[in-house]
Chains A and B, each alone.
Chain A
Amino acid sequence: MTSGAISDVRIPDSALAREAAELVRDTESDLLFQHSTRVYLWGALAGQRRGVRFDSELLYTAAMFHDLGLTEAFRDSRLRFEVDGANAARDFLRGHGIAEADVERVWLAIALHTTPGISEHLHPIAALTAEGVMMDLVGLGYERFTPGERAAVEAAHPHPPRFTEDLLQALYEGLVHRPETTQGTGLADVIADKDPRFQRRDFCSLMRRSPWAAGQQNAP
């Protein structure tokens, strides 16, 4: 790992962190691996800025595994890709004897990393993972990082030239065999963007077409 210290934030130097990095680096494209590393750094920097106490190994594991569900190993899964990544992290952490409560925190952080407006009310691992993801993908909170922090992260783990298009493509490839799992989430936009025939499920029509026929379901 070459990032060294960015402010006082470092990639945790432990057997657990090294094994997580190795597993994810061997499984994911460099694009996703570097993205995941930046997610950790943004999350850790945000936590440090706000004086939030968090376990950096757990945050690092959550960041490392958050997009693992997009990889080849899950091309038969019908679950949400977020849940595949959460389950993979759970297996990994259990295999390392991590306490179940901590395993659950990492699971939830990964499972909810694309769900808006919830993670920030949960424990710091979930809040910081989601914050790191949103910073790295869409620049949410961009101005709250100092130019020095942004420059240091980018120098160590740069966004590659075609980052946005390549990441949208990676999302699409991880989701194309299970488009139904994106309904009602922001990821439906990715499918719609790539596949003009994709039909968004509309919640209102879903209700109107439901077997409940209003007015006919009162007392028999």
Chain B
Amino acid sequence: MTIQPSLGVDIPDSQLTREVTQFIRDTESDLLFHHSARVYVWGALTGKRLGLGFDAELLYMASMFHDIGLTARYENSQLRFEVDGANAARDFLLAHGVSESDIETVWTAVALHTTPGIPEFMRAEIALVQAGAGMDVAGRGYDQFTQAQREAVVAAFPREAGFKQGILEAFYQGMKHRPSTFGTFNDDVLAFKDPHFRRIDMCSVILNSPWGR
């Protein structure tokens, strides 16, 4: 995998990153794999622009694993898909002798990548995975990247025609069997794909609780 050198950001090259790339490529669709690679690059570019010190290898690990919870291997999971991905990353990194505190950083980065308004106050790798995912999925911060950067990233990791519908479908397939997406953006995906889906409303939950008042 090569990115134009002019971008100034590279996929870190180590035994660990090569193995994780292989593992994710074998496990995910091309759509999710390319999306994950772009999440890393947007995150790394953002980190550079903001002058944040970050560990490129950890950022890459977290980016690679961030959506693995959507794949068929978790079709019976009752956890949030983000937590499945975080746990998968933890198992992989434990087996590769990565330190406990680095594993915790990667776990948290994956677990919180859909949580708004919190990761930006945490360690750089945690903030940057969420920033990269927001850029790639919803175009958050789009104008903070140059046209040349955007073109270079998409040339290296193609954003295929129909990406938007494709990733919504991947979200839906990865979440529809889970007990609840209540209180997260993921609710919107189910509501969009399934006309019978009923949002759980927090106020009704409070008002209907076993507490008499």
Given contacts A184-B184, A206-B138, contact A214 B164 (CB under 8 A): yes
Q: Are B210 and A142 in contact (CB under 8 A)?
A: yes
Q: Which of B137, B184, B205, B211 has the most CB of A within 10 A?
A: B211
Q: Given A164-B206, A207-B137, verify A121-B154 contact (CB < 8 Å).
A: no
Closest beta carbon of chain B to A205's beta carbon, Å = 8
Give every chain A residue within 8 A of B112 (Cβ-Cβ). Answer: 115, 118
Of A17-25, A54-62, A186-194, the one touching chain B: A186-194
By secondary structure, the A interface counts as loop
Q: Does B116 contact A (CB under 8 A)?
A: yes
**How many Å lie between the Cα of A142 and that of B121 in the bound state?**
33
Residues of the A chain whose Cβ atoms lie less than 8 Å from the Cβ of B155: 218-220
**Stretch in A2-10, A43-51, A79-87 touching the partner:** A79-87
CB B144 to nearest CB in A, in angstroms, measures 11
In the complex, are the beta carbons of B192 and A204 less than 8 A apart? yes
Are B164 and A207 in contact (CB-based, < 8 A)? Answer: yes
Contact of A190 among B139, B167, B202 (CB under 8 A): B202
In the complex, what residues of B have CB within 8 A of residue A218's CB?
Answer: 154-155, 158-161
Q: Report if B57 contacts A (CB, 8 A).
A: no
| A160–B203 CA distance with the chains assembled, in angstroms | 18
Number of A residues with CB within 8 Å of any CB on chain B: 48
Q: Which residues of A contact B158 (CB under 8 A)?
A: 218-219
Complex contact A115–B183 (CB within 8 A): yes
How many interface residues does chain B have, given as a range? Answer: 35 or more
Contact check, B116 vs A111: say whether CB atoms are below 8 A apart. Answer: no
Q: Which residues of A contact B159 (CB under 8 A)?
A: 212, 214, 217-218
> Is A116 within 8 A of B184, CB to CB?
yes
Residues of A within 8 A of B136 (CB): 212
Contacts of B138 in A (CB 8 A): 203, 206-207, 210
For residue B83, CB closer than 8 A to chain A, the reply is yes
Q: How far is the CA of A48 from the CA of B162 in the complex (A)?
A: 52
Which chain B positions have C-beta within 8 A of A163? Answer: 211, 213
B95 within 8 A of A: no
Residues of B within 8 A of A138 (CB): 205-206, 209, 211
Is A214's CB under 8 angstroms from B203's CB?
Answer: no
Interface residues of A in 115-138 (CB under 8 A from B): 115-118, 121, 137-138
Mask: chain A, 89-119; 1 = CB below 8 Å from B; 0 = not = 0000000000000000000000110111110
CB pair A139 B150 closer than 8 Å = no
Contact B115 A183 (CB under 8 A): no
Q: CB of B23 within 8 A of chain A?
A: no
Known pairs A204-B192, A207-B137, A214-B164; A164 contacts B211 (CB<8 A)? yes
Contact A114–B161 (Cβ < 8 Å) = no
Q: How far is the CB of A93 from chain B (nearest CB, A)?
A: 16
CB-nearest residue of chain B to A101 = B101
Q: Quick check: is B189 within 8 A (CB to CB) of the other chain? A: yes
Q: Residues of B at under 8 Å CB distance from A?
A: 79-80, 82-83, 86, 111-112, 114-118, 121, 136-140, 142-143, 150-151, 154-155, 158-165, 167-168, 180, 182-186, 188-189, 191-192, 201-203, 205-207, 209-213
12 more CB-based (< 8 A) A-B contacts, given A184-B116, A203-B189, A218-B155 = A117-B83, A118-B80, A118-B83, A118-B112, A118-B115, A185-B117, A203-B186, A207-B137, A207-B138, A212-B139, A214-B162, A214-B163
**Subset of 5 A-B contacts with CB under 8 Å:** A115-B118, A137-B209, A142-B209, A168-B206, A202-B188
Residues on A lying within 8 angstroms of B by beta carbon are 79-80, 82-83, 111-112, 114-118, 121, 137-139, 142, 159-164, 167-168, 181, 183-187, 189-190, 193, 202-204, 206-208, 210-212, 214-215, 217-220
